[in-house]
A and B are shown apart, each in its own frame.
Chain A
Amino acid sequence: MEHLNDASHPLQHESRRDDLVDRIATVRDGETTTVERLEGTLARIEAVDGALNAFHEVLSDDARRHAASIDRQLAEGRDPGPLAGAIVAVKDNLCTTEGRTTCSSRMLEHYRSPFEATVVERLRTAGATIIGKTNLDEFAMGSSSENCAWGPVRNPHGVDRVPGGSSGGSAAAVAADLADVALGSDTGGSIRQPAAFCGCVGFKPTYGRISRYGLVAFGSSLDQIGPIARSVRDASLLYEVMAGVDPNDATTSDLPVEPPLADGPIDLRGLRVGVPREHVSDRNHPGVTASFGATLDTLRSAGATIIDVDLPLTHHGISTYYVIAPAEASSNLARYDGIRYGHRAEARPGEGLEELYARTRGEGFGAEVRRRIMLGTYVLSAGYYDAYYTRALKVRRLIKQELDQVLSQCDVLLGPTTPSPAFRLDADLDPVSMYLNDVYTVNANIAGIPAISIPGGLAEDDGEALPTGLHLQAPAFAEPMLLRTAAAIEALVSG
């Protein structure tokens, strides 16, 4: 396997800030065109995606048509929108009318959506060019992007490493410069953990802030869509375009969306940064501990007030999540029965409808999805419902109360995004060990609060320097506080 950490890899040429905001400015200023930018990106995909497998489908024809239209509008003096010139990749569990929407599942191998996700529609309307659909863990269930029907995604920082999951294709695409930004979905950390593993920014807004219409549902009380980006201001721009009420998603909030970075990065002097003791435990990889410690020293030097806080329910988050998420998944995925759309098993003479459902689903779903459907069915079944499901919903309230209480003592919470940097593809983790990757991210989904992962320096593992993530959390709907703080810390850490 060709290793990408050599002089020919695009990552080796990234020393400028060169984020989406800079790049679309060059299109508006006439230094380049959307078509030129698109062709450059398509050439890079052609060169490196055979090794990364970040994309399921590259929508070259549609992207070329759209890019030409953007350039035409600019040439005519019209405004194609705030994302004119942007090249955006979309996780393949978001419905697009161009191309297929497979969720990395045999079940939806040939599925073409008759409608477009609200977020995709809003991006297109804002001028973004959609370049393709990115690989993921099947139905967004996983933390390594290895549970994929058509092969795993590989990490651009070391192709024998996982990119994280489940939005691993989106994170790998942004890290290898195969898109300016990408969309992911986050049910327990699926935007933030791959962003951390690939050295990107990954942002999960408040539950209800961004429409999920057209997101293939996994855990409906937990799912949220968000950007994986090259900078906090890029993530903020995508958020501003996508956020807001949608008549097609009754869970969207009608609170007005404020431009989060209108007042610039926050002044770190006097900012109260809560650091949960449970997130800086001895169980973390030494490289993560070292880089996080260095960040805290830098923050103190910049005048921030670091407050040690306690979140004793942290480790109950994974247990709670692995009752609630599979329960919701078992219900959401009941729709895949081979009747109205998707895979259908070959008919057998004399077979009834029930047998057809069961063989269709047994064939169409991969191992992890089957495992979670069964777990969800188990915890919802008679005799177990109260002991597991109702109890998990009660613990969910306790976790939310604990976070609300701690967030009332400080402005933001800060910790490492993951206990370790990217692990190897052949690590062969058992399910529970894999699930524990999300120990620091999952409670933001359980409580519905916004959270972001930004690059937090490198950690050495087996002689390789790998990205780590800094994880920030804020109260529900406090996106401006979260993003302004993230922008300030980003400038400090990268500067």
Chain B
Amino acid sequence: MNDSDSNPMPSIEDVARVAMLSRLALDAEGLEAARGDLAAILRHVAAIRSLDVEGVEPLPRPQDTVNRLADDEPGPMLDRDVLLELAPRTEGPFIAVPKVLGEGGA
């Protein structure tokens, strides 16, 4: 990818890589449209790069709070059959997926 300090105009290769990382299948037209959109938004977003943030701690959540921990006790769970019913494809008590090893194929 381009160096982050350069003008925030992603190349078509950048956009194809982002689409791949996003697991989004886009055709050439879709990639070109995404490039234009990303460039316009990044131009706007780039304004924050002019602010002095030296010594400022990042704030990932608004209240600097941390998660409360639950007691380590078993509780009710959703039924396996209910969850399996949601799956687009099943085989017996399993969710069916394409092969991930070898030659592939659904």
A interface residues with partner B (beta carbon < 8 Å): 111-112, 114-115, 207-208, 221-222, 247, 250-251, 253-254, 315-316, 318-320, 322-323, 330, 334, 337-344, 347-359, 361-363, 365, 370-371, 373-375, 377-379, 381-384, 386-388, 390-398, 400, 430-432, 435, 445-449, 476
Contact = CB atoms under 8 A, between A and B. Distances in A.
Contacts of A254: 68
Given A319-B47, A371-B34, A397-B58, A387 B106 contact: no
Contacts of B67: 250-251
10 contacts: A250-B70, A316-B47, A353-B99, A362-B26, A370-B26, A378-B18, A378-B42, A387-B49, A395-B51, A397-B59
Nearest to A330: B22
Top 7 nearest A-B pairs (CB, nearest first) are A448-B62, A347-B106, A393-B58, A362-B25, A344-B88, A341-B86, A397-B59
B28 interface: no
Interface of B: 1-5, 10, 14-15, 17-26, 30, 34, 37-38, 40-42, 44-49, 51, 53, 56-63, 65, 67-70, 78-79, 82-83, 86-89, 95, 97-100, 103-106
A96 to B, nearest CB: 15
Contact of A394 (B15, B21, B58, B99): B58
A393 B59 contact: yes
Contacts of A114: 78-79, 82-83, 86
B22 A374 contact: yes
Contacts, number: 198
Contacts of B24: 358, 361-362, 365, 370, 373-374
A446 B58 CA distance: 12
For chain A, what secondary structure do more than half of its interface residues adopt (helix, strand, loop), or is it mixed? helix
A396 B62 CA distance: 8
A356 B98 contact: yes
Contact of B48 (A356, A391, A445): A391
A430 B25 contact: no
Contacts of A353: 97-100, 104
Contacts of B47: 315-316, 319
Nearest to B40: A432
Nearest to B82: A114
A115 B56 CA distance: 41
Nearest to B26: A362
B104 A341 contact: no
Given A348-B106, A358-B24, A207 B62 contact: yes
B38 A221 contact: no
Contact of B63 (A316, A357, A362, A476): A476
A356 B95 contact: no
A373 B18 CA distance: 9
